Structure 1
Amino acid sequence: ATAPLKAQEAPASPTLMTLGPIDGESDQKSSVITLRYDTKPGFQKPVVEAHGSFLQIVLPNTLVLKPGVFQEANSPYIRKFAPFQLDEDTAAIRLFVTKEAENLAPAVSVDILENRVLIIVDHEKAEKAVGPSFNGVPVTGGPTPEQVVKQVAVRSDIPDPISLMSNAKKGDAITAGPAPAPASSPIVAAAVAAVQAQSAPTPVAQKVEAAPPINGADSAAFAKAAIKTEAQVAGAEAPTPRWADSIETKLIAVSVFCALMLGALIALKSWRRAATKALPPGADFSLKTLATHALGPKQKITVIQVGGEQILLGVSPEGINFLTSLRSQTEGPSMPRMPIDPSLYQKTLSPTPKRPALRESNEPLSRPSPLARSESRPTRDTESRGGGVEPGSSIRYGVGDEGIKNFKGRPSASSNQNDESLEDVTRLIRKKLKDLPKV
């Protein structure tokens, strides 16, 4: 008879114990569900109660933080389990199975180890208690086999998985194909998958191994269909390649990036070359000071270069005056020369003067006396004053407080004073030239 849902009698505990995480695991021999407490439980080993579709184990003096949370048992005999809070100080854990739960209760035992409560299901005892009519429980849960048979229509064009599994064990390479299957093949296949996942020897596995294999003709047709089906599935469900995980793709991306950068560099150089050709050659608009020379208090002359021209400016408190252009005086404007026929200007040229004949006498040449030389100089100076400065004549300039002066032709007290003043001026000019900044 089914026992009523009530707490088991146990000695009262001074404090409530908190039920921690719960997990389940299974192997070929048994399935274990572990309950963890914060302290060592003070109650005795609980008793397993059968309540139709589930087994209940009452836990006295236990507080469940998250009651009603279902978890997978990972067992061929137990679907799921969940803890519940029956009253203020009593909890229970329920193991949900099929309708054969009353016969499965003797195969379940409870043990206490330190701060853990272990619920152990012996597979050998469970197989004997349940009997050969037990079809097993899927590991992931789900409806019962009866519900699957009612809702799913069996197809005759689907191969029998049991026969394929038997042939695979014998060494056949057949994986899928059309073959007639019995009406109970989907249900048995689900049971076989559950049993193989848990590696538990059950009567279902024995039934699977005893199934008759398919004949040779069906095997050949089945192999052809299997190859075609796998090719279609592979073509339809082929995953798209991940570009980030391919080394070849990374190399292609790097090559494309380098090509783009090289093209941009070539385009930039071409644009700069075209822009340089568009500008006028030799266009220079820089302005800089080349040299400065002080003539007196707050008076100086400065040489400034503007582009390709050099100009001389006079700077004074009254203002800045333009004196001359140095480059135009030194180089002069270059005018293009027109070709002229040599016969035109050869006629206009004066005949070449003849060299004076040498005296045949052996008389020595007489040098002019110093008095003659001194007399010839005033005449030359007088001609230079009247008609301007002849080429090759001497120039006497000096720098003083009043600026640059021309001392040419001025009367002097004596030749010694003239020589001394010339040396003084030369010394002063050299000193000023040394003070000029270097360009």
Structure 2
Amino acid sequence: MSAARPAIDLGGVYRAEFGRAVATIARFTGDVDLAEDAVQEAFAIALRTWDRDGVPANPGAWITTTARRRALDRLRRESARHGKEYEAALVAPSPTETEMSELPDDQLRMIFTCCHPALAPESRVALTLRLVCGLRTAEIARAFLQAESTVAQRISRAKAKIRHAGIPLRIPPAHLLPERAPTVLAVVYLLFTEGYFATAGPVAVRDELCDEALRVGRLLCALLPVEEQAVRAEAHGLLALMLLTDSRRSQRRGGDGELIPLEAQDRARWDRQAIRAGLNCLLIAAEGGGPYLAQARIAAAHAVAPTWAATDWNAIVAAYDELLGYTPSPAVQVNRAVAVGFRDRPEAGLRALEEVTDDSRVAGGQPIAAARADLYRRAGRFVEAAQNYRIALAGAGNDAARGYLRRRLAEVEDTCRAEGAGPSAPVA
């Protein structure tokens, strides 16, 4: 009796390889829609054949090669279509499977195409998350807090714009890089944050998205011309932020996938090589300015602190004040209030949080409820903490985040009972 085949993690392959495959097929065909459809078909074929034949040694190359064949088949079937996409696809050399998985600039080309100034800003981000990162429309909608149908229409319109306007799939010439780079940087950061703080699904961290954001961030830093000092500094600020934050990725999750808060992480197991690289990028970024530099300074303060107790909260609050000068958003104010709570005790953090409570963009929402719950817990006000943990739990979209909030809620409810206060008692 033959041994059972190992389970096929097709979802994992999809998350890791979808964006790479779409970018590569789009380069060969010149058609983004066709590339996406062909890659989807390739995954459908994989679902049928891998269970029978086994997972290939290089799943990404298999998907890309199969998708290219499907794209060429479709172009041949469309007899009325004799444009440049068909001709380009036919004359392009047929690469080997190894070559199909080792085309490092394809996704960079795709990012610059998705971030073309002819596209609406919100469409650039949504399209990049779909085509480069492989996020499904529902995941993007959740990240944007918008209806799935709205995001689907936005992506569809953006792809139609690329097709009808003839937007090229290429990295722009050097003189256009400075004006195009800020949008690209924003998209790369969104890619990283979606990986590091997954908005939905069973896992807290999507490693392949973090890795891809770091790879593209390094490519951007190497690509931008030396004479464009300001934009190069901004790119290095983003890379510093990602590296310093990513240095503790392995410690964000426990053995069963549960979230581990920063103060409880094993700092001896943080990635020291990533920290050194991040601090080096920070030196280059300091030649300029911008919101990524301010956030990188926050990440650096955590990265260099030998213990939680030794964290330089003065530096972190100052960096948040700097960040508010660039991005006066309620989310930044919420995070600043938490930092104030650590610097000046929880009650001060709660007072700082009141300054943003009435902002309609966050009032009653999950982030502010989670911040308030933690500050109440640290202040020993467990009834209020329990109430806010329930609000935060109801709005959490990630399974690991929900698990963390449930554990905290159980802790404060147990404390309430031990102290003789009902965990559902009204706030005083």
Higher helix share: 2
Normalised-by-shorter TM-score class: under 0.3
Normalised by the size of structure 2, how large is the TM-score?
0.22
Higher strand share: 1
- Structure possessing the higher radius of gyration over alpha carbons: 1
